[in-house]
Amino acid sequence: MGAGCRKWETHLLFLSRHLTVAPIVEVGPRMKIVHVVRQFYPATGGFESVVLELASAQAAAGHQVRIVTLNRLFNTDRVLPVRDTVAGAEIVRVPYVGSQRYPFAPSVIKFIDDADVVHVHAIDFFFDYLAWTKPWHRRKLVVSTHGGFFHTSYAARFKRLYFAIITRASLFWYDGVVAVSGADRALFSKIRKSVACVENGVNVSKYFDRAPAAPAKTVLALGRLSSNKRLDRLIYFIAALRKRDLQWKLLIAGRQWDVSVDCLYALAEKLGVRDALEVVVDPPDDEIRERMGHCSVIASASEYEGFGLAAIEGMSAGLFPILSDIPTFRDLFNRTGVGMLVEFSNPEVAAEAFAKKWREVEADYVRRRASAIEAASIYDWPRVCRSYQRIYDNVCGATKRTILGVPIFFGKASQAIEVIDERFERASTSIVAFANAHTLNLAYQDRSFVAVLRNAIVFNDGIGVDIASLMLFGAAFPQNLNGTDFVPHYLQNTRHQYRIFLLGGRPGIAEQAGLHFAKQFPRHDFVGCYSGYFGENESTKIAAMIKASNADVVLVAMGNPLQEKWLASNLESTGATLGFGVGALFDFVTGNVSRAPAWVRYLRVEWFHRLLHEPVRLAGRYLVGNPRFIFRIVGQRMSAVSLDGDL
């Protein structure tokens, strides 16, 4: 495993001792999560660290976590134990044949059959194999891109072709695709419609505040000894820098990969800087911490990075980053404003630019050091774990089910009541909406309506949404929470006493509905009503009227999408906390529109009853709209479950 490397048992002991700092993250329902990654501990590197930190945080939060990986490290023939445990997560190692670039390990499928979600890391054999076997294993699949496979120029034309055809086809089977950087998102969005962006986390406590208190002229390069890291350019850079100041040195620390230590030293000898270079292979974290105490700069000349973990780890220590001008590092620099980007392909220009910048850094070293540490803190793991948990919940439909871009609450009426009550107690102004197939068809064609619903509490209404849930998530919603039944149920069972204003319906209908509700729910005060037939210029007057009534709740019956859009524009100015879009509720409770018999509602065909009574008005909605809705759900399934953007 390379000179200076400790035995893998020592690595695991070290990890178990030090990963107690993993954050305990508040999460939803407990899950069985399987991470699949081709190399894992005792291997060290970028996404190995990401998987370890994520898995350990999830285990600490009470999830059952398993990591499936290969049974040999790529730089050794030693076979590792089949099973291990680290930081509360089970490790299962499987045999493989073939190359390091695409190792065949079909037995992985044996260890995912009990998973709620399988999280694949990187685009490789595991990614393709689990995609194409999904009709058999039927697990929910999430992939983190980790830069794809464009880290080197090797077989570049073939890679582009493979990406455009095979990778695109494999992505069809994934329920969630997560880019780990803006550059990755731009890349994968070319072949996949729905791509979320969750930048990797960093265990900022690992190297926190380890940089020296006073400037030290040693540059640290941390990461694999890999050709895409362009360590040769760093040696050229340090040679150019020493022409300006002989005190500068370069420390390279990382895992042996496809660049040999001898080659690095030979290049340094050729450039006359052998005495200024030190290479440390496979250093454990405690040694890196000690070494960081003698460095003030972290550098990367990498040609490609999926995320740039080492740069952020260096920043967490207080090191000043100098980075190659590539998209990932450009995003990091633009987000944090810390460090500098240079063109390492021209070492003289890069050295001159850095020497000039270093004079500024040295003169203001304490503040610059603190700024680097503060900037790194935004990448700490709790945020990332919460983001991944939302994605898991989304693709599994654990708490919400996203249908045509609209997240819909998944739960029973009692849970829905609790959600609304808690919003009121927090004085969190909230819109409550009900989405049936027609509502979602309207939202599909109106992005502003989607935006309103995504910021609302949305409940499922009708058999069409249940069919969509079955198609996308394999199970229907636990209860039909249509507004006509749920709103009265909520008013009967909430733990709060409300002042309620009714808005909507034809003239006189809101008044009749208010009288009906006052008899049915005497503990609430019905403090006002107004017809739904008014012009846009009257909204301000109506909002003021509601505010004067001191209403806590506004029931708005104007139909989709008018009622939800009105609430989005006006609820806050009414002073009320909760706004419900209730559709035809006022007409139903006053008897102006008859409901289907109970047995029809039980069979979930109330829509057919309404069609028979209002064929002219509703024929387009049901006879054309329902098939169109199913067609759109098929389209969503082909691009997998929608994710909620950047998480």
Size of the chain in residues: 647
Residues 351 and 420 in one domain: no
More confident residue, 586 or 43: 586
CATH number at residue 226: 3.40.50.2000
Instruction: Retrieve residue 88's tokens.
Output: 């509360």
More confident residue, 591 or 310: 310
- How far is it, in rounded angstroms, from Cα 452 to Cα 450? 5
Residue 252 lies in a domain: yes
Q: In this structure, are residues 424 and 577 in contact, taking their beta carbons and an 8 Å threshold? A: yes
pLDDT tier at 3, thresholds 50, 70, 90: very low
pLDDT tier at 260, thresholds 50, 70, 90: very high
Residues 144 and 190 in one domain: yes
pLDDT in tens, 170-212: 999 998 999 988 888 999 999 997 899 998 888 888 999 999 9
pLDDT in tens, 151-168: 666 778 888 999 999 999
Mean pLDDT for the chain? 89
Residue 389 lies in a domain: no
CATH number at residue 432: 3.40.50.10700
Given a cut of 80, is residue 514 above it in pLDDT? Answer: yes
pLDDT tier at 647, thresholds 50, 70, 90: very low
Section 633-638 average pLDDT: 82
pLDDT in tens, 48-92: 888 998 999 899 989 999 999 999 988 788 899 999 999 899 999
User: φ and ψ at 517, to 5 degrees?
Assistant: -65, -35
- Give me the long-range contacts of 188-194 (CB less than 8 A, separation at least 24): 188/145, 188/148, 191/163, 191/164, 191/167, 192/168, 192/639, 193/639, 194/639, 194/640, 194/641, 194/642, 194/643
Boundary-marking domain end, from 349, 379, 409:
379
Least confident segment among 12-21, 117-126, 466-475: 12-21
Section 535-552 average pLDDT: 94
Boundary-marking domain end, from 197, 232, 263:
197
Residues 539 and 405 in one domain: yes
pLDDT in tens, 395-405: 888 788 899 98
- How far is it, in rounded angstroms, from Cα 577 to Cα 589? 24
Residues 367 and 449 in one domain: no
pLDDT value of residue 17: 36
Element (H or E) spanning 484, and its range? helix 483-493
Domains contained in the chain, number: 3
Residue 394 lies in a domain: no
Residues 276 and 408 in one domain: no
Section 27-45 average pLDDT: 85
Residues 593 and 626 in one domain: yes
Q: In this structure, are residues 636 and 472 in contact, taking their beta carbons and an 8 Å threshold? A: yes
- How far is it, in rounded angstroms, from Cα 460 to Cα 480? 6
Given a cut of 60, is residue 540 above it in pLDDT? Answer: yes
- How far is it, in rounded angstroms, from Cα 389 to Cα 393? 6
Residue 384 lies in a domain: no
**Backbone Cα Rg of the chain:** 30
Section 570-582 average pLDDT: 97
Residues 547 and 627 in one domain: yes
pLDDT value of residue 27: 46
Residue 211 lies in a domain: no
The secondary structure of residue 204, as a DSSP letter, is T
Section 279-286 average pLDDT: 93
Residue 213 lies in a domain: no
Residue with token string 């350019």: 233
Instruction: Retrieve residue 474's tokens.
Output: 């394999």
Secondary structure (DSSP) of 243-309: TT-TT-EEEEEE-B-SS-HHHHHHHHHHHT-GGGEEEEES--HHHHHHHHTT-SEEEE--S--SS-H
Please state, as a whole number, how many other Cβ atoms lie within 10 Å of the Cβ of residue 269. Answer: 12
Secondary structure (DSSP) of 6-64: PPHHHHHHHHHHHGGGS-----SS--EEEEE-SS-TTS-SHHHHHHHHHHHHHHHTT-E
Residues 107 and 187 in one domain: yes
Residues 490 and 431 in one domain: yes
Residue 144 lies in a domain: yes
pLDDT value of residue 157: 86
pLDDT value of residue 640: 56
Using left for φ > 0, alpha for ψ between -120 and 50, and beta otherwise, residue 256 falls in: beta
Residues 158 and 232 in one domain: no
Residues 106 and 37 in one domain: yes
Q: Order across the sheet with 89-94: list the strands.
A: 83-86, 89-94, 64-70, 32-36, 117-121, 140-144, 176-179, 196-197
pLDDT in tens, 600-635: 676 677 777 677 777 777 777 777 788 899 999 988
- How far is it, in rounded angstroms, from Cα 49 to Cα 307? 12
pLDDT in tens, 89-105: 999 999 999 888 899 99
Residues 23 and 153 in one domain: yes
Residue 227 lies in a domain: yes
How big is the CA angle at 562 (ends 560 and 565), to the nearest 5 degrees?
110
pLDDT value of residue 510: 95
More confident residue, 199 or 3: 199
More confident residue, 486 or 536: 486
Give me the amino acid identity at 241. Answer: L
pLDDT value of residue 359: 96
Domain span at residue 404? 399-633
pLDDT in tens, 329-351: 998 999 999 999 999 999 999 99
pLDDT in tens, 440-453: 999 999 999 999 99
